[in-house]
Amino acid sequence: MFPTGDETKRYTYPIVIYMLIGVNTGVFILELSDPWTYENMILQYGFIPRLLTLNPFGGVLRMFTSMFLHADILHIFGNMLFLYIFGDNVEDRMGHIKFLFFYLFFGVAAGLAHFMIDPLSIVPAIGASGAISGIMGAYMVMFPFARVRVFYRFFMVRLPAVVYLGFWFLMQLFESMLPEYVGIAYWAHIGGFIVGPIVALLFFRGERKRPVTQYSYYNYLYT
């Protein structure tokens, strides 16, 4: 079940989304410049759980740098597609600066979840999936009944966001428990996704405390 888009209207230009896509793409092109650069960047900037124990500052720093590294073209394409589909409306709702802050926060939360599952691992973890999972979790709370266009087998179907994203989350849980799973940091996805709705609910709580203005009025209308 692969998403191709959503039907939620946005009212601002998603500048942070385009910036993140541009930075990730630029770093990926740099990775592809030669095999040595690719391997060296993963070893130098990928998140290694064991390092967080030995060098907390260096480990946290790698949580940030690892968000901008990807293994191959399918890895970055899938991540950037999910970021674009679900991120533009969350950025529209939160505002550009808050969105960027929470995107990075979700990435750190995902890294910590990955660390707690296997704190002694020396295998570098890379990718923006954890941060994007947080955005998806926030989207599910902010726009639960927004229609998501999903390609399923040979058909295009329209599902409520809460149904599609809920199913996606359950699949991450299921696959994380399979004994043969390797190569994917499922618990980073799970950790980011769990934190996303919490942040979204706190954000809604803060919105309710604001005076009602014309702008905030329309913010409530388009959910």
What CATH code is carried by the domain that includes residue 138?
1.20.1540.10
Taking each helix axis from N to C end, the angle separating 186-208 and 129-142, rounded to the nearest 10 degrees, works out to 40
Q: Which residues contact 185 (CB under 8 A, 6 or more apart)?
A: 110, 114, 125, 127, 129, 130
Q: Which residues contact 134 (CB under 8 A, 6 or more apart)?
A: 102, 103, 105, 106, 107, 109, 110, 192, 193, 195, 196, 199
Laid out side by side, the sheet with 147-152 consists of 2-6, 147-152, 155-160
Structure tokens given for 152: 């399923």
Q: What is the DSSP letter of 55?
A: -
Determine phi and psi for 6, rounding to 5 degrees: -130, 175
Is the torsion defined by CA of 189, 129, 85, 157 positive or negative? negative
**CA 146/CA 181 separation, integer angstroms:** 32
Q: Residue 218 has what pLDDT?
A: 40
Q: Residue 46 has what pLDDT?
A: 95
Higher pLDDT, 213 or 100: 100
Residues spanned by the domain of 160: 2-221
182 confidence band (pLDDT: 50, 70, 90):
low
**CA 53/CA 146 separation, integer angstroms:** 41
The per-residue pLDDT for range 49-105, each reduced to its tens digit, is 999 999 999 999 999 999 999 999 999 999 999 999 999 999 999 999 999 999 999
Q: Among candidates 108, 163, 101, which has minimal Cα distance to 133?
A: 108
Number of structural domains (the chain) is 1
Mean pLDDT, rounded, for 156-164: 94
